[in-house]
Amino acid sequence: MSSAILGVQIMLAIQLLGTPQIRRDDSDPFSLRGQKAWGLLAYLALSEIRHPSRGHLAELLFATAADPLGSLRWNLSELRSALGPEALRPGSVELELPADGLLDVEVLTRSTPQEALSLPGLGRELLEGMDFTGSPAFETWLLLERGRLMGAAAAALREAALDRLAARMPAEAAPLARRLVELDPYDENFQELLIRSYAQAGDKRAAGEQLQACRELFQRELAREPAESLLRATEEPAEGPESSPPARLSVRQAAGALLEAGEAAAAAGATDAAIQSLRRAVALAQDATETEVEARALFALGAVLVHGVRGRDEEGSSILRRAVTLAEQSDLTDLQVAAARELSYIDALAGRYSRCDRRLVEANSLPASDTELAAVESIRAMAAADRGAHETTQDHAAKSTALAERSGDLQRMAFALSFAGRSHLLTGDLESARTSLERSLAIVGETGWLAFASWPETWLAEVQLVEGDLTNARTRMERAFALACELRDPCWEGLAGRGLGLVEEREGDVPGALRRLEQARQTAARTTDCYVWVEAYTLEALAGVAVRAQSNRAAEWVEDLRSLAARTGMREMAAKAYLYRFEMGDADALDGARVMAAEIENPALKATLEAEAARA
């Protein structure tokens, strides 16, 4: 890894992606003796645990050594010699990069996608070629981090490609989208992005050939057609669409009028009409160099595609990025924050948490209105909860609720309160969960926000289920399920279906519960823009019932859960997957579950694991 990789002189460069190496002052790479030193460095660089004890590190990596603490001291000394005393001070186990230091995994997860593209190990495995089978708990942690960082690499490539589409450089986006398809040809969003890049570049032949190759792959390997959004992507117009203003109106007036018409249509739920008007508004504003109108029309169009139409998040992302660029140029701070918040929401839904976090922190630093800051804090609560950071969730949810109440945004209050309630439930605080969820549901009723009602309703039903009130839990779950089906919302439908499956298990109908839960899992993943955490949550319930019932498919579903948790960095779900492995007879898996749980904020799950360890 070059010591000037980001265009600045780097005095300490640590590469953990691909073949690991350490460089100092443009010298030859340092060679660490043994894989354990590299494993220790990776753990110190990436673990969510702050100030890990020496006992914890020794147990994790050197438990089988004759002198575990002595082995740890030797490996820390080896690292200190390679890194220098500034990065790893004598007597410390805290990795502290100097100002002129670079760590590739940090660049990948916290820097811009353009900076991530400069990494030589982008898209390669963490500590490539190394295995730590003699340290099963560490191997568990490493597998999760490998999956998480591969997901972060894909997220960086995707964002870089979308940035190029937003900058009207589709020919430059196509090679990046091609790398994404090579990483995972079964990801329909990656396929759609590549097809859209070809189409916007004017290469209709390449777009058609890619669509045909994708269809053949899906038919051969998955026995189904790809999503409709891929078919639409080939029809994407090349850059420079033409439009004309209505008669007797100037271009500026027409663009403004179409923007107002599009926003009104979107508010009324007339999605198709809104999209048509907003597309024309964008084209006319661009022709008239009306930057503010164009930025607002782009934001409105992107938001409609994300919230009003299933399977259009990738197209919406590209448009929202253009809105961000224009908002920055025109100093439209509230619009900039709103567009960034929408993009973060899309990333959170897809489990791209490192990209989501970075954008939300930036948005939160801008001088925006209370309404927008409340929205930003609510998405931060959502993203934190998805990864098991439940204490952090409560902090963000409380800030969002206060800001939303002050600004009069009742729907945002309901949204934030629902995620606070979810975290209370998952950490075993049923009384607080009920309070937050009842308040959320009451606001939903007051504001007539029918499209959201199924979400808090389902969580309140789960509170009743945990309390043992099966009758009322079933009634409430059925109401939430019926509403989700009526709205054709696969996320809400899958979540409520999950709850009904658990009710059926409690009622003694285990075969029915497994059928219901398998269907709920499929429903939750039905579209390309599904809420991945809901898919994981339904899969966790399916795996749990299967393990308890000793189903012959239990191992398959547990591995699916582990794989999904690894790809997205959902440590709480990973801990549950390893707990199920332990319950199926894998004695080493309990230590893996405890390693995962140590990095999340869920005392109830930790207590469960400690109780299992005591019994073992």
pLDDT in tens, 427-477: 999 999 999 999 999 999 999 999 999 999 999 999 999 999 999 999 999
**Residues 561/543, Cβ–Cβ less than 8 Å:** yes
Domain span(s) for CATH 1.10.10.10 in the chain? 12-123+134-148
Which tokens go with 580? Answer: 């199920």
d(CA 137, CA 429): 29
Tell me what pLDDT residue 33 has: 86
**Residues 574/533, Cβ–Cβ less than 8 Å:** no
End-to-end CA distance of the chain: 45
Of 447, 480, 448, 449, the C-alpha closest to 463 is 480
Average pLDDT value for residue range 294-316: 87
Tell me what pLDDT residue 8 has: 57
Over residues 96-129, the pLDDT tens digits come to 988 889 999 999 999 999 999 999 999 999 999 9
SS3 610: helix
Q: Which single residue is written with the structure tokens 């990025």?
A: 321
**Residues 533/553, Cβ–Cβ less than 8 Å:** no
- pLDDT greater than 60 at residue 5: no
Of 86-100, 245-259, 366-380, 465-479, give the lowest mean pLDDT range: 245-259
d(CA 523, CA 613): 35
Please provide residue 21's backbone torsions phi and psi, each rounded to the nearest 5 degrees. Answer: -160, 160
The total of other beta-carbon atoms located within 10 Å of residue 114's CB is 12
Tell me what pLDDT residue 357 has: 92
d(CA 408, CA 397): 16
Which tokens go with 550? Answer: 């000793």
Q: In this prediction, what percent of the chain has a pLDDT beyond 70?
A: 95
Q: Which single residue is written with the structure tokens 């790479």?
A: 29
Average pLDDT value for residue range 324-339: 92
Tell me what pLDDT residue 379 has: 97
d(CA 113, CA 105): 13
DSSP code string of 36-99: HHHHHHHHHHH-S-SS--HHHHHHHHHTTSSSHHHHHHHHHHHHHHHH-TTTS-TT-------T
- pLDDT greater than 70 at residue 242: no
d(CA 496, CA 385): 19
| 263: confidence class by pLDDT, cuts 50, 70, 90 | confident
Average pLDDT value for residue range 355-380: 91
How do beta strands 12-15 and 101-103 pair?
parallel
Higher-pLDDT residue of 240, 214: 214
Which tokens go with 516? Answer: 């219901």
d(CA 458, CA 476): 7
Cα 344 from chain centroid (whole Å)? 9
Of 504, 568, 506, 580, the C-alpha closest to 540 is 580
Beta bridge partners of 12: 24, 101
Of 147, 104, 133, the C-alpha closest to 12 is 104
Domain span(s) for CATH 1.25.40.10 in the chain? 352-443
d(CA 295, CA 480): 37
Of 428, 401, 374, the C-alpha closest to 601 is 428
Topology of the domain covering 352-443: 1.25.40
SS3 463: helix
Average pLDDT value for residue range 531-556: 98
Residue 524 burial by CB count (10 A; 0-12/13-18/19+): exposed, middle or buried? buried
- pLDDT greater than 80 at residue 592: yes
Which tokens go with 248? Answer: 């007797």
| 271: confidence class by pLDDT, cuts 50, 70, 90 | confident
Give me the helices (H) in 549-602, please.
554-568, 571-583, 589-597
Residue 334 burial by CB count (10 A; 0-12/13-18/19+): exposed, middle or buried? middle
Topology of the domain covering 169-233: 1.25.40
d(CA 296, CA 339): 10
What pTM does this model have? 0.91
Does the domain at 12-123+134-148 match CATH 3.30.70.380? Answer given as no
Which tokens go with 492? Answer: 């809400």
Please provide residue 120's backbone torsions phi and psi, each rounded to the nearest 5 degrees. Answer: -65, -25
DSSP 527: S
**Residues 285/258, Cβ–Cβ less than 8 Å:** no
